[in-house]
Chains A and B, each alone.
Chain A
Amino acid sequence: MSGIFAIAGLTWRTALRVRLAQLLAGLVVIILLALPAAVRDDGTVVGHAQVLLLYPLGLCHALLCLAVVWLGADSFGRDMRDGHVHLLATKPISPAALWLGKWLGVTAVGGSLLALAALGVLARVPDGAREALAGHVERTGAGVTDIVRLRPGESFTWTFEHGPSPGTPVEVRLCVRTPADVPGGLRADVVFGGQSGVVTLLPGRRQVFDWKEPQGPLSLRLTSHGPGELAMPLRDQPTVRWRVGSFAGNYLRAVVLLALQLAFLAALGLAAGSALSFPVAVFASVAYLVAALHAPFLRPMAAGTAPVDQVMAALSRFGLALTDALHRWWPLGRLAAGDLVGWDEIGRAVWRLGVIETGVVMAVGMALWSAREPGLGGRE
């Protein structure tokens, strides 16, 4: 084990001397200092915090993704170029252990810079926004139909299973539609969690109602008093949302997901560098990153909702499957929305991304490196 850590330490020290790593570290600092002031928000503390979470942290993470694939792809190539491999390969450290040490080193560089960026962003998130952006869980009602239509005097009941413990403050979010404009809104009786009230529903607007201490099983009964019919398509029907953790905990878990992505990308860069020359390895790794960044454009094509031919749809599905490791675990959107990034998700990500997917890439990389002849120095 001491050999693996010695290689990791050396990789760390080497990486910090790579110009690109220095440049990216500088950019991370500049982004943390300058970007929050440059990007406009909606003027609220929550809006400002959301901008911080989405842009500076997101951009830092994107730069670090580039940094780790670059450093990973360069690591073996540099050893071959500078001849270090002649010394390393003649010492009693197996190719797998050498590979593992390099992966630890590159991941540690990326992880450290990510920690720096995350701490920098966390320090700038206003206290007033942390309550609103704490980890929340949102549930839809059971037994919903595609569309609910209520004429004056009619009622509909939604039941929410696996809700919060009694007494937990809850938000109810819903939106109603009307065939015609209703300037004063619709009046409705709401019975929810043992409490009742009269509310005004404004058509076309997503409304949030706070229930401080609902008791008993969570079910919501809505009775419309008109005027006119109201309609609620599936996406507008009520959801309940409640807080289950602190902002700091949610933030920490989101950063863990980002770190797992960096570890995966470090393995990807090293695997490419194990078999290919540095420029080709960097090109392949960066192409993967670019494909992952295009996931939002690929999804409609893969799902067939965009007007593309079968070949393009199949290519989009292939691209999505190939880059699933990155976009599946993207947490910043949910973090900025105050949605929970749960421990169960961390567990799944550690198993699937950290162990299975990173493990497969590492195994392939180790096999490729073991098959190489270090004495060739990049020839033949």
Chain B
Amino acid sequence: MSDLVVRAEGLTRVFHDFWGRPRVTAVAGLNLSLQRGEVVGLLGPNGAGKSTTVKLLLGLLRPTAGSIEVLGRPPRDVAAKERVGYLPEESYLWPFLTGAETLAFFARLFDRGAPPERVPYLLETVGLSGAADRPVGEYSKGMQRRVGLAQALINDPDLVILDEPTSGLDPLGRRDVKAIIAELAARGKTVLLCSHLLAEVEDVCHRVVILVDGRAVAGGALGELLAEPGRARLDLPAVDEPTAVRLLNTVREVVGEGDVHLETPQRSLQSYFLEVIARARSGGGAP
């Protein structure tokens, strides 16, 4: 199998008004390629063309110019869709179907089908086993997001496109989604992630593409983009104040006077919150 999962060249989409006059150029000459096993973040401010790009990749829109191949086929090709999973920005589910019925319905849309144990496995994976028989209309927004994610994975896709996957989720849900994305990448799946939550993109993505006004204005591996050349950080166990002063003096003797400082690191609120929840559930108190 080729390692190139998505190839878009010169991708352009212009929206027209009622009279056929060009109104908005949502995507302008975008080049994009996704390799197998990559988790790529598609970033940009509102109106940058992220959703339009995703819809073009999924065949929901046709490009005004340029070409797209998804898994070696045009995006509207049914065979390509057999291997693609998509979580849209909104729920878009049928409120009268239960969670289990929703997944069973989507499983039937695939020619190669899904093994019978796939539905309960996915419900377990997204933490909805206990609510499988409740109508989706009774779910909270976070639960609808979870069942939406499960439907995107029903066919064990090679390419997963997630549009704001953690929108409406609590920190536990966000952690679960990030774990699922990491597991997908570990299994060689390709993930395209659209999100405004940069911290989450930073946590899970290998690479990002930043769109502004429909054009890719920056992109690359996160390690390279976020590195601060000319700076170094020393990480060590907590020390008392005299020891800290001695350490700073020693470092200044080596690297010279400059921006050298020592501080007590703070954990993130999310990390603290998760620990509190875990303790509460195991019967312990606050740390």
**B interface list, Cβ under 8 A from A:** 15-17, 55, 58-62, 78-79, 81-82, 84, 86, 88, 90-94, 96-97, 105-106, 108-111, 113, 151
Contacts and interface: CB of A to CB of B under 8 A. Distances in A.
Nearest to A7: B109
A2 to B, nearest CB: 5
Given A84-B92, A86-B88, A91-B81, A2 B113 contact: yes
B90 A6 contact: no
Nearest to B54: A375
Contacts of A197: none
A83 B62 CA distance: 18
B111 A92 contact: yes
Contacts of A375: 55, 58, 60-61
A109 to B, nearest CB: 15
A5 B109 CA distance: 9
5 contacts: A6-B105, A14-B96, A17-B96, A92-B78, A92-B82
B105 A90 contact: no
A42 interface: no
Which 3 pairs, one residue from A and one from B, show the smallest C-beta to C-beta distance?
A375-B60, A83-B92, A6-B108
B59 A380 contact: no
B82 A87 contact: no
Interface in A1-52: 2-3, 5-7, 9-10, 13-14, 17
Given A92-B82, A375-B55, A86 B109 contact: no
Nearest to A94: B78
Given A14-B94, A90-B59, 15 more contacts: A3-B111, A10-B97, A13-B96, A84-B94, A86-B60, A87-B151, A88-B109, A89-B59, A90-B60, A90-B81, A92-B110, A374-B60, A375-B61, A380-B15, A380-B17
Given A6-B105, A92-B82, A373-B62, A87 B92 contact: yes
A305 B136 CA distance: 61
A180 interface: no
Nearest to A13: B96
Contact of A90 (B17, B58, B62, B108): B58
Give chain A's interface residue range (CB within 8 Å of chain B).
Answer: 20 to 34
A93 interface: yes
A244 B244 CA distance: 110
A7 B61 CA distance: 22
B152 to A, nearest CB: 9
Main secondary structure of the interface of A (DSSP, over half): helix
A82 interface: yes
A83 B60 CA distance: 12
Contact of B88 (A9, A17, A87, A94): A87
Nearest to A3: B109
A209 to B, nearest CB: 62
B119 to A, nearest CB: 14
A17 B137 CA distance: 14
Contacts of B97: 10, 13
B8 to A, nearest CB: 15
A91 B106 contact: yes
Contacts of B90: 83, 86
A373 B82 contact: no
Nearest to B17: A380
Contacts of B82: 92
A92 B60 contact: no
Contacts of B81: 90-92
A93 B106 CA distance: 10
A123 interface: no
A6 B109 contact: yes
A7 B88 CA distance: 20
Contacts of A14: 94, 96
Contacts of A311: none
A91 to B, nearest CB: 4
Contacts of A10: 94, 97, 105
Interface string A354-376: 00000000000000000001111
B122 to A, nearest CB: 15
A87 B82 CA distance: 13
A153 B184 CA distance: 103
Contacts of A92: 78-79, 81-82, 109-111
Interface in A67-97: 82-84, 86-94
Interface centre among A14, A84, A375 (most CB of B within 10 A): A375
B78 to A, nearest CB: 5
A114 B86 CA distance: 39
A380 B16 contact: yes
Contact of B108 (A3, A13, A89, A94): A3
Contacts of B61: 373, 375-376
